[in-house]
Amino acid sequence: MSLLMCPVCRQALHLVEHTWRCESGHSYDVAKQGYVNLHVVQHKHSKTPGDTPESVLARREFLQAGFYQPLQHAVVALLQQLQPKSVLDIGCGEGYYTSAMQMCTERCIGVDIAKTAIQRAAKLNSNITWAVGTGATLPVQDHAIDVCTSLFSPIPQNEIVRVLREQGHLIVVTPAPRHLYELREALFEQVTLHEPQKFVEQLAVQFNLTQSQCIEAPMLLDQYALKNLIAMTPYAYKANPERRMKLEQAQQFAVTAAFQIYVFEKNKKPSI
């Protein structure tokens, strides 16, 4: 049984040979790389939304080197606790975390607005349903998902509530207060601490916080890894160009990644 939804008419999509079709006659071909594009033109705000190809490649190479493996292991451990039959990774990027999630569930969907990222992801793991799509209209049927995940990605709260089953879970990963603090110190004149608690407040009406943990990953980066880390973050275009150029000349750089992980449970519907 399919979990995907037509982004135009919101009916269920069914895979017929190499094409996803709905009863209204809308159809979406599976690309040769193994993904489906469900980001229809009426939902687009730019020609090439999402991360740039350069950012996607930098993130792929940085993550494949294992620097954020402690976070990947922590997310897998949470899924092993929750034992979901279906997982939706929102803003899945090139699929590093999604592929690890897939080992913990029967059905796994990865959605990202960046076509370049999904193309790379589809080459990584053919056991996942990969879709280009937007969080504004997640291409997934109502109440079809046991666990949604958002790792350093937007949190389309109402859409998550729609696709989650009753008492389904949402795993959010966001920068802890001092995430990459040393890197930000080198790139910016002023550095403020991240405020992960804002997501707890934002989600409080529709979700209950059930778990919270902070994972730290000290890293000693060579020049190549450092350049990839900068390129995969918003710092690539926000930082002072002179400061960035100077930092990228460093042969080694010590920095600590700090990940704030929250697990939320969807509130039960109020009794009438």
- Predicted pLDDT of residue 229: 97
Q: How many angstroms separate the CA atoms of 168 and 266, rounded?
A: 5
- Predicted pLDDT of residue 49: 52
Report the predicted TM-score, pTM, of the whole model to 2 decimal places: 0.93
Q: What are the phi and psi torsion angles at 251 (to 5°)?
A: -80, -30
Q: How many angstroms separate the CA atoms of 119 and 115, rounded?
A: 6
- Predicted pLDDT of residue 271: 42
User: What is the tens place of the pLDDT at every residue in 183-204?
Assistant: 999 999 999 999 999 999 999 9
- Predicted pLDDT of residue 160: 98
As annotated, the binding site includes 6, 9, 22, 26, 68, 94-95, 179
Q: How many angstroms separate the CA atoms of 195 and 235, rounded?
A: 17
- Binned at pLDDT 50, 70 and 90, residue 81 comes out as very high
Q: Outline where 65-212 has alpha helix (H).
A: 69-82, 96-101, 115-124, 157-163, 181-187, 197-203
- Predicted pLDDT of residue 42: 47
Q: How many angstroms separate the CA atoms of 246 and 119, rounded?
A: 33
pLDDT above 70: residue 40: yes
As annotated, the binding site for S-adenosyl-L-methionine includes 68, 94-95, 179
C-alpha dihedral over 24, 25, 30, 31, to 10 degrees?
-120
Q: In what order do the strands lie in the sheet with 27-29?
A: 14-16, 19-21, 27-29
C-alpha dihedral over 164, 126, 48, 68, to 10 degrees?
80
User: What is the tens place of the pLDDT at every residue in 151-162?
Assistant: 999 999 999 999
Across the chain, which distance is largest between two alpha carbons, in Å? 64
Going by C-alpha positions, the residue among 112, 10, 104, 3 that lies closest to residue 59 is 112
Q: Which residues contact 169 (CB under 8 A, 6 or more apart)?
A: 82, 84, 146, 147, 148, 210, 263, 264, 265, 266
All domains in the chain, ordered by first residue: 14-266 (3.40.50.150)
On whether the CB atoms of residues 165 and 210 are closer than 8 A, the answer is no
On whether the CB atoms of residues 134 and 113 are closer than 8 A, the answer is yes
As annotated, the binding site for Zn(2+) includes 6, 9, 22, 26
pLDDT above 80: residue 268: no
Q: Which segment of 48-62, 141-155, 186-200, 215-229 scores lowest on mean pLDDT?
A: 48-62
Q: Which residues contact 224 (CB under 8 A, 6 or more apart)?
A: none
- Predicted pLDDT of residue 43: 46
